[in-house]
Structure 1
Amino acid sequence: MQRILIVLSMFFTLANSAQDMEIALWDVEIPDSKKHSDYQEDQKIDGGILSRASKVTEPKVYAFFAKENTSKTAVIIFPGGGYGHLSMSKEGFKVAEWLASEGISAFVVKYRLPDDRIMKDKSIGPLQDAQRAVRLIRHNAEKWNLDSDKIGIMGFSAGGHLAATLSTHYDKKVYLNKIEESARPDFSILAYPVISLTSAITHEGSRRRLLGENPSDNLVTQFSNEFQVSENTPPTFLVHALDDHSVPVENTLNYFNALRENNIPTELHIYNDGGHGFGLAEHLPNNLWPKLLLEWLKTQN
């Protein structure tokens, strides 16, 4: 443990924006990665803040520590972007800042996006980063004033697919793990998530980028998380809008039904309006959902 903490400290850097530090996700070579000379990260910066990232090669975690985290709860955030880019500000940093202001420490993950050029198996590349993020933060829970049994995850759109995949595949062996802590989240928050990769209701871009043009039926089922829920899936909070024309609301409804069938504590909020990608919905009719989320977290202790 001491060696890992020492290595981690080498990657801590003070940031210019509101986060307390940024951390390299992997302290050694990224598992099953490949080198490609023309593949370099593309960033969009707005007002000095990273708003959008694509072609990620060096995944990172951005930490936002609550000043008074009396509950010692942490939320790990996976931004969306159809597995083609990451909405780092709207579905990452802004959400983390809000959580920290509410007394919950938050960690935004800039994860690798599936790509054959840098991954031996692109279908598990994002999941490798997601598992690693949970283990890394749980491993450092005491140091960062967190309860290792209160480590949850949050995902938006395709980031919601990654969060749901982690919730149902947390014990899948996708890399040689050197940190003993479990990758199972203690709770899951999914906002307008891509849940299914079945052709009827999926987001085609997310499916194609993750699984390729003609995936096998077995692979589609494996990553359609409504079919992967079990009695060990963590408690889940779900929010979606009926007029979402990018990710049909059936994704969330099917996952909700699977959670109910397995007696998993869950709460569902469906709004008539809001479309897709509403984030915290500060100026939309569904802007109450963050407050409802806080109340749900209290009920989950």
Structure 2
Amino acid sequence: MKYLFLFCFCLMSSLLFSQTEMPLYEGPIPNSKDVPNVETSEVRDDGILIISKVTVPTLTAYLPSKETATGKAIIICPGGGYWLLAAGHEGHDVAKEFAKRGVAAFVLKYRLPNGLAMEDKSIGPLQDAQRAIQMVRENAAKWNVKPDQIGIMGFSAGGHLASTAGTHFKREVIENPKKTSLRPDFMVLVYPVITFDKEVGHSGSSKNLIGERPPQGMIDLYSNDKQVTAETPPTYLVHAKDDPVKIENSYLFEAALKQNNVPVSHTYFEKGGHGYGMINPTSEVRWMDDVEKWMKAF
């Protein structure tokens, strides 16, 4: 009986969505040095899947059935301080949930900044985020996705990467021969790192991406509240007021969006800390439900 249940569960899961992992680049990985692939992955005692030392990026697609597909898609950037990737509860688990709700979801295993493996570590993650948007948009028909309904989502430092993709899309750091739009159509940023300002920003993420003593120009460039324009995509923010990644990150971004008349909504929790993924255990509010309702407006 136990094995029959497991078989039925797996069969039902396969009917809900299909899963495929793909290399992000068809040819040589841009901005990469010739180094061994020493990527590691482990499941910690608390059940969290951690991937480290990523130098070969991939995109894993979770596609809903044709019967449930809404035509919307979202690219998910797990967090980890630009040091590692919390690829389970901030990646694959979230993608499965979106697929159940009819949204094609793509987990981006992006390269982690590494001066030994990259010519310029500050643009490595952004290259992968732009390539993911390019890849999904150019394959929209194949994956039953509307090309103007492709969003990006990020948790923590993945939120920094997602917000970089959403504010730096005119600064193309990949080859784009088809002139495909690299602008995401919407953003969902969950307890995001936004600014690298020393008073508010997350020093670990900043150090790993742009170095220990970056010039002020680099700090400003990657403080994404300072890069917002009227063309920045509509955004949904999720943050807890007691988060060690200060909620002021989201406040700054929200203020910049409003100043530029960009639609913005949010779920702000009184408590919850950092890294809770889809479910904040201190609240009955399920922010994924709120995001789903918000996404239906586009």
- Mapped partners of 1:134, 1:286: distance in 2: 33
TM-score (norm 2): 0.90
Aligned partner of 2:72 in structure 1 is 73
- Mapped partners of 2:126, 2:78: distance in 1: 14
- Mapped partners of 1:143, 1:179: distance in 2: 17
Change (3 A) 1:146 1:259: same
Aligned partner of 1:30 in structure 2 is 29
Aligned residue pairs, count: 281
- Mapped partners of 1:179, 1:55: distance in 2: 31
Q: 1:227-246: CA deviations, max 9, x gaps?
A: 0000100000001000101x
Q: 1:61-82: CA deviations, max 9, x gaps?
A: 1110011344200010000000
Structure 1 gap segments, 5+ residues each: 1-14
User: How much does 1:143 deviate?
Assistant: 0.8
Task: Please state if 1:279 is matched with 2:286.
Answer: no
- Mapped partners of 1:50, 1:250: distance in 2: 27
Q: 1:65-115: CA deviations, max 9, x gaps?
A: 011344200010000000000011010011001101111110000000111
Instruction: Tell me the percent identity.
Output: 44
- Mapped partners of 1:286, 1:179: distance in 2: 46
Aligned partner of 1:87 in structure 2 is 86
Report the 3-state secondary structure (helix = DSSP H, G, I; strand = E; otherwise coil) of the residue aligned with 1:119.
coil
Report the 3-state secondary structure (helix = DSSP H, G, I; strand = E; otherwise coil) of the residue aligned with 2:296.
helix
TM-score (norm 1): 0.89
User: How much does 1:170 deviate?
Assistant: 1.1
Change (3 A) 1:166 1:286: farther
Q: 1:125-184: CA deviations, max 9, x gaps?
A: 000000000000100000111100000010000000000000000121213224431110
Aligned partner of 1:52 in structure 2 is 50
Task: Please state if 1:224 is matched with 2:223.
Answer: yes
Check the 8 A contact 1:238/1:252 in 2, yes or no: yes
- Mapped partners of 1:278, 1:250: distance in 2: 18
CA RMSD in angstroms, aligned pairs only: 1.8
Report the 3-state secondary structure (helix = DSSP H, G, I; strand = E; otherwise coil) of the residue aligned with 1:199.
coil
User: How much does 1:299 deviate?
Assistant: 1.9
Structure 2 gap segments, 5+ residues each: 1-13
Aligned partner of 2:40 in structure 1 is 42
Report the 3-state secondary structure (helix = DSSP H, G, I; strand = E; otherwise coil) of the residue aligned with 1:65.
strand
User: How much does 1:286 deviate?
Assistant: 5.5
Change (3 A) 1:46 1:20: farther
Check the 8 A contact 1:154/1:160 in 2, yes or no: yes
Check the 8 A contact 1:201/1:248 in 2, yes or no: yes
- Mapped partners of 2:62, 2:41: distance in 1: 21
The 5-angstrom pairing of residues 1-301 of structure 1 reads: 20-37=19-36, 40-45=38-43, 51-67=49-65, 68-245=67-244, 247-281=245-279, 283-285=281-283, 287-300=285-298
- Mapped partners of 2:225, 2:154: distance in 1: 16
Runs of 4+ aligned structure 1 residues displaced above 4 Å come to none
Check the 8 A contact 1:136/1:179 in 2, yes or no: no
User: How much does 1:45 deviate?
Assistant: 4.5
Change (3 A) 1:127 1:286: farther
Change (3 A) 1:230 1:173: same
Check the 8 A contact 1:273/1:286 in 2, yes or no: no
- Mapped partners of 2:255, 2:284: distance in 1: 22
User: How much does 1:57 deviate?
Assistant: 1.5
User: How much does 1:20 deviate?
Assistant: 1.4
